[in-house]
Structure 1
Amino acid sequence: MIKVHGALARITRNFGWLYTSHSFSFGGYFDPGNTEFGPLRVFNDDRVQPLKGFDFHKHEEMEIVTVVLRGELQHEDTLGNKTVTRAGEVQRMTAGTGIEHSETNPSASEEVELLQLWFTPNEEGLTPSYEQAAYDLDSRKNEWVPVVTGRPGESAAGDGDDGVKPARIHQDLTLYLAELEPGQALTFSQKPGRRMYVFVIEGSATADGAYKLSRRDAARITEQERLELHTETGARLMLIDLP
């Protein structure tokens, strides 16, 4: 079953320094019928203005993945990490028993655009940790590129000729990205009983020949073991294979 959630159906807020759209209940927005999709708890689409961001704040018992689409995001945490994540990179933070961090845009002239996803971990009481990973969609077009995974076998499958490995996450899921050229199609197959979450980052695509997805639209897919996505104009896609 495929259920499309259009970009305009998201809750969008403009704080001046932050423009954000929530796909699930978050902060002051609460919909009891829209709190999660499997272990996927938060999917925020953020744009942060130059030299602005989130001051130090605490997280617990959550796996937090950030995909930078444009610009730079500076991360600092109580583990001593201080890094900058750029387009073409992803970060994974295990909050576990508790971690404080800040997220800021270090640029004085350009905003940063990012997607931030929160997943419930497969166990509580984990030791907090942080990791970054890089990927290159330009050299691997028209294929699913795993950038975050919790599956032992996915790491080897995700190693391209450049030797880049996906970030590790404490959950039975894999997050893929794909750069699909005009006129191309991609299929994805999974085991029975699992879920797929599809998000169109840029461009447009059609799912199984019937469901049209435009920029920032999402599809929540259940009870389906195979999916085909086709694009006429080109698309940058995210697909998450979820329990």
Structure 2
Amino acid sequence: MEKIIYKAGSRGHANHGWLNTHHTFSFASYYDPNRIHFGALRVLNDDKITSGTGFPKHPHENMEIISIPLKGDLAHEDSMGNQAIIKQGDVQVMSAGTGVTHSEFNPNKDMGTEFLQIWVFPNKENIEPRYGQVHYPVEDRKNSFQMVVSPIDGGLDTWIQQDAWFHLADFDKGLEKKYELKKKDNGLFLFLLEGEIEIGGEKLQKRDGIGLLNLEEVNIKANEDAEMLLMEVPLEW
């Protein structure tokens, strides 16, 4: 098993006033030639948006975009005619395909919004754009891996055009659990949202990440109560 460590403090950072963001991979003005992507995982942004502000309309194409709110609400509007509010517990996917324009903003007047913005390279380009949004009860990830993103044939409405599986998990202190990869030759990227864990012989703390390659399974132990996102993605596609 090979490991790539991404410590929280080593991420790219930009504070635009309305947006305070950290980039695990190169994005916008942050560039590190050693941190362009992890396999098909291209973007992992940890965004905080102040009340009443957000991203104006902007285009995307040939990218699978996943948004996971951690706190507060995020209002979405796109050129496909979708208008929605996504909240904590929701997962939103958007296959940009041949091209889509959308906006995202914090509709609350007295509360910040925190969410993960994730981009994944698709395994098929120029598909018809699509939108999906599902609420996944937080209690269903207690001491368990809750699948929230799958491939097109994975049985979820929040599917993407890639052989990738995302799971959210909340572990109690002391819990040990094994994650088994769904597909041979995929890699696993774990992003720790809260707490402290041990994985692959490494200790991770809040907002640390680790990329794991050449493995079939890995054991995860929670040293503290911990919340995490696991992203299994192809290393080649």
What range describes the TM-score normalised by the shorter chain of this pair? over 0.9
Please show how residues 147-166 of structure 1 align to structure 2 within 5 Å: 147-150=148-151, 152=153, 154-155=154-155, 165=156
2:142 — aligned with what? 141
Amino acid at match of 1:223: N
Find the partner of 1:202 among 185, 194, 199.
194
2:65 — aligned with what? 64
Please show how residues 201-220 of structure 1 align to structure 2 within 5 Å: 201-208=193-200, 210-220=201-211
Rounded to whole Å, the distance in 1 between the matches of 2:209 and 2:223 is 18
Rounded to whole Å, the distance in 2 between the matches of 1:207 and 1:151 is 29
Rounded to whole Å, the distance in 2 between the matches of 1:182 and 1:32 is 36
2:42–2:119 Cα contact (<8 Å) kept: yes
1:180 — aligned with what? 171
1:235 — aligned with what? 226
DSSP-derived class of the 2:9 partner: helix
2:132–2:157 Cα contact (<8 Å) kept: no
Q: Does 1:101 align with 2:117?
A: no
Unmatched segments (≥5 aa) in structure 2: none
Rounded to whole Å, the distance in 2 between the matches of 1:140 and 1:147 is 10
Q: Deviations over 1:164-201 (max 9, x none)?
A: x4511110000000011111112112244220000101
Q: Deviations over 1:28-54 (max 9, x none)?
A: 122222111111110000000000000
Amino acid at match of 1:197: F
Rounded to whole Å, the distance in 2 between the matches of 1:138 and 1:97 is 37
Q: What is the total number of aligned residue pairs between the two structures?
A: 232
DSSP-derived class of the 2:138 partner: coil
DSSP-derived class of the 1:197 partner: strand
DSSP-derived class of the 2:134 partner: strand
Rounded to whole Å, the distance in 2 between the matches of 1:9 and 1:31 is 11
Rounded to whole Å, the distance in 2 between the matches of 1:183 and 1:221 is 22
1:17–1:53 Cα contact (<8 Å) kept: yes
Unmatched segments (≥5 aa) in structure 1: 156-164
Amino acid at match of 1:66: S
1:37 — aligned with what? 38
1:48 — aligned with what? 49
* Structure with greater strand share of residues: 2
Rounded to whole Å, the distance in 2 between the matches of 1:176 and 1:139 is 11
2:13–2:30 Cα contact (<8 Å) kept: no
Rounded to whole Å, the distance in 2 between the matches of 1:94 and 1:70 is 24
When residues 168 and 75 of structure 1 are mapped into structure 2, their CA distance, relative to the original with a 3 A threshold, is: same
How much does 1:140 deviate?
A: 4.0
RMSD value, Cα = 1.2
Amino acid at match of 1:185: E
2:171–2:226 Cα contact (<8 Å) kept: yes
TM-score normalised by structure 1 residue count? 0.92
2:197–2:220 Cα contact (<8 Å) kept: yes
Rounded to whole Å, the distance in 2 between the matches of 1:202 and 1:87 is 15
1:151–1:174 Cα contact (<8 Å) kept: no
Please show how residues 86-97 of structure 1 align to structure 2 within 5 Å: 86-97=87-98
2:215 — aligned with what? 224
Amino acid at match of 2:160: I
Q: Deviations over 1:48-77 (max 9, x none)?
A: 000000000001110000000000000000
Residue identity over aligned pairs, in percent, reads: 37
Amino acid at match of 1:93: M
1:160 — aligned with what? none
Rounded to whole Å, the distance in 2 between the matches of 1:166 and 1:95 is 16
Please show how residues 105-120 of structure 1 align to structure 2 within 5 Å: 105-120=106-121
